[in-house]
């Protein structure tokens, strides 16, 4: 062992593990996809990819939010209800402005800005509690979950928030590119075509938006000082403090970012479903944490990447769509996500057994 | 020769207990000073004052002859005093370069505005400092977790050296290391001396002390009870000073020498 290390050559077992480390979940995703292509009718269609991204977009955003927090060694349980809270704020504000006579586009932009600004508040409180008052992340964000749920219900009195202008739906369900059979290609808006002409819709706008945001954050985590500090804090908070990293400020930033992303997910939800409700993201919490874990991050912090988290999200999204298209009840998905999560953690532990 | 770092009549009290009682001790450039004493003798408290963790209740700390106030660990680092703790304070999930530059990362500009981590230049600088100290680590891209105890120690030391440490304080540097690794760390200490650093080693290992130190300062119950040049003393005498029977011990040592 010792000599192998000194030669710079790891023993065979370690090398196999290292090779599998980043790839087994990708293999799992591939097998899963092939399975559904063979068994679920209609799954083997290029459009499936688009559909699962469109419906999974909130999970992708929440998972990235969760990833940053989990890399620091924390957890953010509030993201689901921050999403719900944001979906209500977005709906209410955009609706209110539109009814007051503000042009739809202006109402939409102002509503989006208001949602993201208000959505920062839960994260700032979480971050302040965790970083400056040393409240355990689990407790701080669990409390915030309750607060967001309660405030949301107070705002809407137990019903849905509704009544968005048509433009909201056009953005929420719109696509980047439309291609009418016969040649006409147009961006953003559906081309005027004769009845019966098939129009291909390519790349939902909200998926484009999420992809840009997630791309930027992948860069931030992997290639900037902020990202490096996030890993260092999760690896050893002591080392980070002694290295002069402003640990408390970084933690505040991470929880604020988490909440901001959850709010963006809430805004996306509101545009997509043209409504807002308190528990809009309640079931997304489990999925987002599961995606991060399936992507190989450690619950204790210090590891995990955006790319692998995306693979984790895809594992869940493919499962969801595949089961739905096979006609299986949704509850099966919960059971399977739970099972895959446990499997992932066990496999990761086995693969890393050599590291420590 | 002038002391690089010295304390003059430095005092630290905790309530009624005087943990460090008017201790004056110093280390010169290119010299290793061993600080020895039984548990609770005040070694750690003394070191913590020098490294900025505790504020002294009296006396002074002088760096290159100038009285210097060290009010925080950051002050100590700014003054060139680096402490290598037993737990090393490395981020185990990051690689060697990232650890050496932790908190002081190098960046390069991309597209005019983006500050991107410059891992390549950090790794190159890390390699330079490792070469300078004759330290061999299989891969700089390896995370600290995959390194042995001695290699970790070497990374922690390299980090201090890279950031221009003048005085290096090492708390039990060979504890928890295998025999071969202990020897490497000790030879590293000699390299550092040759490069003009002042080194303070806290150690219980008499073998280490006699292997690398030039001078030995002995503390007992918060006070400095003796200072010996390594070439003029014996382990027996030092142990005698530590446990408080120096007259017997030195008598025995002399008797032994004449017999």
CATH (domain of A330): 1.10.3470
In chain B, residues with a C-beta closer than 8 Å to the C-beta of A2 are 148
CB A261 within 8 A of CB A269: no
Instruction: Specify if A99 maps to a domain.
Output: yes
Between β-strands B81-84 and B107-110, what pairing exists: parallel, antiparallel or unpaired?
unpaired
pLDDT tier at B30 (50, 70, 90 boundaries)?
Answer: very high
Handedness of CA A52, A54, A55, A58 (dihedral sign): positive
For chain A, the first-to-last Cα distance in angstroms comes to 13
- CA–CA dist B205, B218 (Å, integer): 13
Parent domain of A208:
48-352
B72 interfacial to chain A (CB closer than 8 Å): no
Each as own residue / partner, the long-range contacts of residues A193-197 (CB below 8 Å, 24 or more positions apart, any chain) are none
User: A231–B91: do the CB atoms touch at under 8 Å?
Assistant: yes
- CA–CA dist A323, A269 (Å, integer): 22
Handedness of CA A228, A233, A234, A238 (dihedral sign): positive
Instruction: Specify if A9 maps to a domain.
Output: no
A232 interfacial to chain B (CB closer than 8 Å): yes
- CA–CA dist A113, A91 (Å, integer): 12
CA distance B91 to chain A (A): 5
pLDDT tier at B1 (50, 70, 90 boundaries)?
Answer: low
Each as own residue / partner, the long-range contacts of residues B210-215 (CB below 8 Å, 24 or more positions apart, any chain) are B210/B235, B211/B186, B212/B32, B212/B34, B212/B186, B213/B32, B213/B33, B213/B34, B214/B31, B214/B32, B214/B33, B215/B31, B215/B32, B215/B33, B215/B34
3-state DSSP assignment of residue B202: strand
Q: Which of B89, B94, B148 sits opposite A242 (nearest CB)?
A: B89
How far are the Cα atoms of A239, A301, A303 from residue A231, in angstroms, in the given order? Answer: 11, 8, 7
CA distance B53 to chain A (A): 11
Q: Which of B88, B91, B104 sits opposite A235 (nearest CB)?
A: B91
Q: How many domains does chain A have?
A: 1
DSSP labels, B162-175: HTT-SEEEEESTTT
| pLDDT given for residue A241 in this prediction | 86
In chain A, residues with a C-beta closer than 8 Å to the C-beta of B74 are 244
Least confident of A112-121, B78-87, B217-226: B78-87
- CA–CA dist B124, B131 (Å, integer): 11
The answer to whether residue B105 scores a pLDDT higher than 70 is yes
B86 interfacial to chain A (CB closer than 8 Å): no
Q: How many CB atoms lie within 10 A of CB B247?
A: 9
Give per-residue pLDDT as tens, A177-224: 888 777 777 887 777 777 777 778 888 999 999 999 999 999 999 999
In a mutagenesis test of the B interface, which of A223, A226, A299 is the best target, namely the one with the most B β-carbons within 10 Å? A223
Helix A306-325 with A284-294: angle, nearest 10 deg: 120
Instruction: Specify if A177 maps to a domain.
Output: yes
Chain-wide mean pLDDT for chain A?
88
- CA–CA dist B51, A267 (Å, integer): 51
| pLDDT given for residue A6 in this prediction | 43
The answer to whether residue A3 scores a pLDDT higher than 70 is no
In chain B, residues with a C-beta closer than 8 Å to the C-beta of A6 are 136, 138
The answer to whether residue B216 scores a pLDDT higher than 80 is yes
| pLDDT given for residue A121 in this prediction | 97
The answer to whether residue B140 scores a pLDDT higher than 70 is yes
pLDDT tier at B176 (50, 70, 90 boundaries)?
Answer: confident
B 95-134: CB under 8 A from A: 98-99, 102-105, 107, 115-117
pLDDT tier at B259 (50, 70, 90 boundaries)?
Answer: very low
Q: Which of B91, B117, B139 sits opposite A236 (nearest CB)?
A: B91
Q: Which two tokens stand for residue A28?
A: 């799992």
User: A239–B102: do the CB atoms touch at under 8 Å?
Assistant: yes
| pLDDT given for residue A12 in this prediction | 64
Most confident of B81-90, B127-136, B229-238: B229-238
B194-216: average pLDDT:
90
The answer to whether residue B111 scores a pLDDT higher than 90 is no
How far are the Cα atoms of A56, A291, A295, A314, A335 from residue A342, in angstroms, in the given order? Answer: 21, 12, 12, 17, 11
pLDDT tier at B213 (50, 70, 90 boundaries)?
Answer: very high
Detail the DSSP E strand segments found in A175-261: 175-180, 185-187, 199-204
| pLDDT given for residue B6 in this prediction | 93
A15 interfacial to chain B (CB closer than 8 Å): no
User: A232–B91: do the CB atoms touch at under 8 Å?
Assistant: yes
A237-266: average pLDDT:
94
Q: Which of B77, B92, B138 sits opposite A235 (nearest CB)?
A: B92
| pLDDT given for residue B104 in this prediction | 87
Instruction: Specify if A86 maps to a domain.
Output: yes
Give per-residue pLDDT as tens, B39-64: 889 998 999 999 888 999 999 999 99
- Using alpha carbons, select from B11, B6, B29, B36 the residue that is nearest to residue B227: B36
Between β-strands B167-171 and B114-117, what pairing exists: parallel, antiparallel or unpaired?
unpaired
| pLDDT given for residue A10 in this prediction | 53
The answer to whether residue A325 scores a pLDDT higher than 50 is yes
B78 interfacial to chain A (CB closer than 8 Å): no
CB B97 within 8 A of CB B119: yes
- CA–CA dist B194, B191 (Å, integer): 5
Instruction: Specify if A88 maps to a domain.
Output: yes
- CA–CA dist B126, A242 (Å, integer): 19
**Block residue for tokens 């009870």:** B225
| pLDDT given for residue A22 in this prediction | 65
Q: Which of B90, B105, B143 sits opposite A225 (nearest CB)?
A: B105
**Block residue for tokens 């933690």:** A251
The answer to whether residue A354 scores a pLDDT higher than 60 is no
The answer to whether residue A57 scores a pLDDT higher than 60 is yes
CB B37 within 8 A of CB B43: yes
A234 interfacial to chain B (CB closer than 8 Å): yes
CA distance A129 to chain B (A): 24
Instruction: Specify if A296 maps to a domain.
Output: yes
For chain B, the first-to-last Cα distance in angstroms comes to 36
User: A228–B98: do the CB atoms touch at under 8 Å?
Assistant: yes
- CA–CA dist B178, B148 (Å, integer): 10
Q: How many CB atoms lie within 10 A of CB A104?
A: 17
Burial (CB count within 10 angstroms: exposed 0-12, middle 13-18, buried 19+), residue B145: middle
| pLDDT given for residue B251 in this prediction | 45
User: A231–B93: do the CB atoms touch at under 8 Å?
Assistant: yes
CA distance B107 to chain A (A): 8
Least confident of A130-134, A239-243, A303-307, B121-125: A239-243
Q: What are phi and psi of B218, to 5 degrees?
A: -110, 130
Instruction: Specify if A32 maps to a domain.
Output: no
**Block residue for tokens 């983006």:** B114
CA distance B13 to chain A (A): 25
User: B89–A303: do the CB atoms touch at under 8 Å?
Assistant: no
CA distance A55 to chain B (A): 33
Q: Which two tokens stand for residue B147?
A: 């390194």
Give me the domains of chain B, ranges plus CATH numbers.
5-258 (3.40.50.300)
Q: Which two tokens stand for residue A93?
A: 């504000």
In chain A, residues with a C-beta closer than 8 Å to the C-beta of B117 are 223-225, 227-228
The answer to whether residue B153 scores a pLDDT higher than 70 is yes
| pLDDT given for residue B59 in this prediction | 93
- Using alpha carbons, select from B125, B131, B133 the residue that is nearest to residue B189: B133
Between β-strands B114-117 and B5-14, what pairing exists: parallel, antiparallel or unpaired?
unpaired
Give per-residue pLDDT as tens, A151-171: 999 988 877 888 888 888 888
User: A243–B145: do the CB atoms touch at under 8 Å?
Assistant: no
A244 interfacial to chain B (CB closer than 8 Å): yes
């Amino acid at each position: 062992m010792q000599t192998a290390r000194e030669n710079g050559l790891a023993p065979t077992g370690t090398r196999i593990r290292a090779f599998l480390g980043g790839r087994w979940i990708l293999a799992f995703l591939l097998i899963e996809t092939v399975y559904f292509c063979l068994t679920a009718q209609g799954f083997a269609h290029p459009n499936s990819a688009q559909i699962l991204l469109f419906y999974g977009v909130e999970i992708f955003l929440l998972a990235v939010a969760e990833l940053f927090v989990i890399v620091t060694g924390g957890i953010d349980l509030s993201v689901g209800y921050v999403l719900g809270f944001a979906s209500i704020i977005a709906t209410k504000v955009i609706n209110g402005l539109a009814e007051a006579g503000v042009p739809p586009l202006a109402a939409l932009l102002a509503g989006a800005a208001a949602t993201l600004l208000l959505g920062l508040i839960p994260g700032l409180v979480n971050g302040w509690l965790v970083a400056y008052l040393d409240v355990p992340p689990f407790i701080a964000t669990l409390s915030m979950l309750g607060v967001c749920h309660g405030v949301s219900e107070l705002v809407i009195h137990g019903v849905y928030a509704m009544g968005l202008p048509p433009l909201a739906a056009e953005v929420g369900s719109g696509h980047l590119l439309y291609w009418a059979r016969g040649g006409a290609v147009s961006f953003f808006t559906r081309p005027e075509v004769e009845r019966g002409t098939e129009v291909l819709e390519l790349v939902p706008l909200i998926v484009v938006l999420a992809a840009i945001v997630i791309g930027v954050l992948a860069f931030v985590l992997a290639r900037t000082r902020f990202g490096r500090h996030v890993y260092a804090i999760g690896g050893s908070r002591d080392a980070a403090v002694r290295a002069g990293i402003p640990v408390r400020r970084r933690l505040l930033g991470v929880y604020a970012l988490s909440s901001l992303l959850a709010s963006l997910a809430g805004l996306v939800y509101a545009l997509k479903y043209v409504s807002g409700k308190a528990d809009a993201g309640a079931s997304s919490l489990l999925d987002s944490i599961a995606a991060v874990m399936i992507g190989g991050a450690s619950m204790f912090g210090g590891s995990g990447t955006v790319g692998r988290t995306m693979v984790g999200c895809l594992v869940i999204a493919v499962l969801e769509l595949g089961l739905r298209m096979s006609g299986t009840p949704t509850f099966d998905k919960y059971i399977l996500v739970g099972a895959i999560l446990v499997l992932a953690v066990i496999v990761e532990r086995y693969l890393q057994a050599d590291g420590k | 020769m002038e002391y690089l770092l010295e304390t003059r009549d430095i005092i630290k009290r905790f309530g009624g207990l005087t943990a460090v009682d008017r201790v004056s001790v110093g280390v010169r450039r290119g010299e290793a000073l061993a600080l020895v004493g039984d548990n609770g003798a005040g070694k750690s408290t003394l070191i913590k004052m020098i490294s900025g963790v505790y504020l002294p209740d009296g006396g002074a700390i002088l760096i290159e002859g100038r009285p210097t106030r060290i009010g925080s660990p950051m002050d100590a680092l700014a003054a060139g005093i680096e402490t290598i703790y037993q737990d090393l304070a490395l981020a185990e999930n990051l690689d060697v370069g990232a650890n050496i530059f932790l908190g002081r990362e190098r960046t390069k500009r991309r597209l005019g505005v983006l500050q991107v981590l410059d891992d390549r230049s950090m790794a190159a600088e890390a390699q330079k400092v490792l070469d300078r100290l004759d330290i061999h680590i299989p891969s700089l891209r390896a995370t600290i977790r995959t390194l042995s105890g001695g290699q970790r120690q070497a990374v922690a030391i390299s980090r201090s050296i890279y950031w221009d440490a003048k005085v290096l304080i090492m708390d039990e540097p060979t504890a928890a290391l295998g025999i071969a690794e202990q020897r490497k760390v000790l030879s590293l200490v000699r390299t550092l001396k040759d490069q003009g650093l002042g080194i303070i080693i806290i150690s219980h290992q008499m073998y280490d002390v006699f292997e690398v130190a030039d001078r030995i300062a002995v503390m007992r119950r918060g006070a400095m009870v003796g200072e010996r040049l390594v070439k003029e003393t014996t382990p027996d005498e030092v142990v005698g000073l530590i446990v408080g029977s120096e007259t017997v011990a030195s008598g025995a040592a002399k008797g032994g020498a004449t017999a």
